[in-house]
Chain A
Amino acid sequence: MAILVIEHVSKFFGGLAANSDVSFSMEEGSIMGLIGPNGAGKTTLFNCITGYYPPSKGVIWFEGRKMNGLQPDKVCKLGMARTWQKVRPLAKMTVLDNVVVGALARTNSLRVAREMAMAQLEVVRLHGKAGFLAGGLPIGERKKLEVARVLATGPKLLLLDEVMGGLNPAESEEIIQLILDIRTRGLTQMVIEHDMKAIMRISDRIVVLNSGEKLAEGSPDEVVNNQDVVDAYLGESHAED
């Protein structure tokens, strides 16, 4: 069953179309890669899906429910959670408390929230730093904290915005394993990523955006061999791999 359906979504800023007539759907439990050059409208689409911007046109359906016009906090409680391209740790709170804030979306009890938070910190292997201030973490751990925090909100669909950006290969590999782990738990994930090798490895399907429009959609193999995608984005070298 499709968990998320994007129907003819457009987002205009003045005369600029950041997204225009984008449609696709996601199967429950799958991983979808969202790729495209800078300025293609990937993050704008995330913002439309998660309630930060109302779409100018089109409809977003989540589990058969129309999401247009819902505020981000409502979207989160309905089971969609997103991370931020530029990480947003709650700097003066501890690592544990950052995740507790996420868990409080599901419970009113601090004790329960702490237990849930600790469990998620173990998933991303940050439990050793639970008492540290989030603002003092290096970038790799901030990205993991971001993932733990959204996991704690108990989502069905995760939207990950460049969680590997700025990481070294070893750290990226950890995140890839984490994403694959999360899939085995039945969560659906939409992943924006610039690292082509990584996105090809983890995605079941890929949507390519270019200048706000959907350029192509398909399995990783289909997308790599699509001539439009190669021209617009991947370039010659990748096509010859």
Chain B
Amino acid sequence: MTFSPSTRTGLSAGAALLLLAALAIVPRFVQSPYALHVLILIFLSTIMGQAWNILGGYTGQYSVGHAAYFGVGAYVTVSLMLHRQIAPWVGMWAGAAAVVVVALVIGSICFRLRGPYFVLASIAVTEIMRLVATNLKDLTNGAEGILATEIPPLKFGATVITDFGSKVPFYYIGLGLAVLTILVTWAVTHSKLGYCFQAIREDQDAAHSLGINPTLYKNIALAISAVLTSFAGAFYAIYVGFVDPPTVLGLDLSVQIVLICIIGGIGTIQGPMVGACILVPLSEILRSNAVPELLMKWGWMNGESGIGLFLKENLAHAHVLIYGILVVLVILYMPEGLVGFLRRVTRGRRAA
């Protein structure tokens, strides 16, 4: 079956609305806090991945330092909530403003460089910020981190909408932010900005000769990307209630953000969602004892045998190793990510 482009847009918009409607009613049927937690993490990863995608996927600037914007968003929101009693949904805008300043400073340093040099500079600048946050004890409480679990209730006039007693409000905030980032990405890619970004990605010199100022547009892409990432940071901070330099400013996080897009598909609007839906459950499954338990349940492995005992005790500890191997396999065999891979397969079938 083939569809005209406009029909296809209509169909995917319809599918997206259906999916959104389904996600909106999930908390009515899913009571398990753990299941909601996994879904919230998927939303968080989608936000981070989609935000990175604007700079990395569409503009071609592979930043491995996005933890900087995540961390600043998290710290500013939490500090304002703790010390100035400013509600997080107000504080996150202060975080966003701070992040724009940070992004433009980082941009003015890193965008002088291209390709691998840009990647290295983005890592270096974020490492500097992590070290600064670790040592600025007055501002960040250093390596001990900031604990902030008291979230002021969300009120509309005098009515309390939620007091954040369960995971459900976080679920809807995460869903809302994820939808926001996806809409922003869609709007960007369907505007002049998107064309300028992609032209820079494909060939910066050619873009420059066609009237595009690469420095200006790279900084615009970075600012949009950084603000959305800071929202993810603010959301993470109030959800988890704790921030410290290694978790919100660490290289691990920067790499994690890039991986979401690599696995899902760089430069596609579905990529970060797909990547988040794969990576989050994968890391949760590997971290738990679910795999050896399943193997035993299916009778593929005896829990009393030497191998069985070994796996039962050690597999969960090796989750990072297995995760790493799986990521390498995906990169080797699906270099365009899962979305790119599926597109190629379906295109091949249509041609045949």
A153 touches B (CB below 8 Å): yes
A110 touches B (CB below 8 Å): yes
Give the complex CA separation of A90 and B209 in angstroms: 13
A77 touches B (CB below 8 Å): yes
**For residue B201, which residues in chain A have a CB less than 8 angstroms away from its CB?**
92
A88 & B195 in contact (Cβ 8 Å cutoff): no
Give the complex CA separation of A89 and B202 in angstroms: 8
Give the complex CA separation of A226 and B296 in angstroms: 91
**For residue A50, which residues in chain B have a CB less than 8 angstroms away from its CB?**
209
A92 & B202 in contact (Cβ 8 Å cutoff): yes
A110 & B191 in contact (Cβ 8 Å cutoff): yes
B202 & A73 in contact (Cβ 8 Å cutoff): no
Interface hits, A50-108 → B, CB 8 Å: 50, 52, 71-73, 76-77, 81-82, 84, 88-93, 97, 100-102, 104-105, 108
B195 & A153 in contact (Cβ 8 Å cutoff): no
Contact with A along B201-226 (1 / 0, CB 8 A): 11101111111111000000000000
Q: Residue of B at shortest CB range from A100?
A: B195
Report the number of A-B residue pairs with Cβ-Cβ less than 8 Å: 74
Contact with A along B126-161 (1 / 0, CB 8 A): 000000000000000000000000000000000000
A77 & B203 in contact (Cβ 8 Å cutoff): no
B338 touches A (CB below 8 Å): no
Q: A92-B202, A93-B199 are in contact. Are A73 and B192 (CB under 8 A)?
A: no
- Distance (whole angstroms) from the CB of A88 to the closest CB of chain B: 4
B198 is contacted by which of A84, A88, A93, A149 (Cβ under 8 Å)?
Answer: A93
Chain B interface size, under 10 / 10 to 19 / 20 to 34 / 35 or more: 20 to 34
Give the complex CA separation of A81 and B195 in angstroms: 19
**For residue A72, which residues in chain B have a CB less than 8 angstroms away from its CB?**
205, 208-209
Q: A90-B198, A110-B191 are in contact. Are A101 and B207 (CB under 8 A)?
A: yes
A90 & B203 in contact (Cβ 8 Å cutoff): yes
- Distance (whole angstroms) from the CB of A100 to the closest CB of chain B: 6
**For residue B212, which residues in chain A have a CB less than 8 angstroms away from its CB?**
73, 101, 104-105
B196 touches A (CB below 8 Å): yes
Q: Residue of B at shortest CB range from A76?
A: B211
A90 & B208 in contact (Cβ 8 Å cutoff): no
A90 & B192 in contact (Cβ 8 Å cutoff): no
Q: Residue of A at shortest CB range from B191?
A: A110
Residues of B near any A CB (own CB < 8 A): 190-192, 195-196, 198-199, 201-203, 205-214, 267
Beyond A72-B208, A82-B209, A93-B198, 5 extra complex contacts between A and B, CB < 8 Å = A71-B208, A72-B205, A73-B213, A92-B201, A153-B210
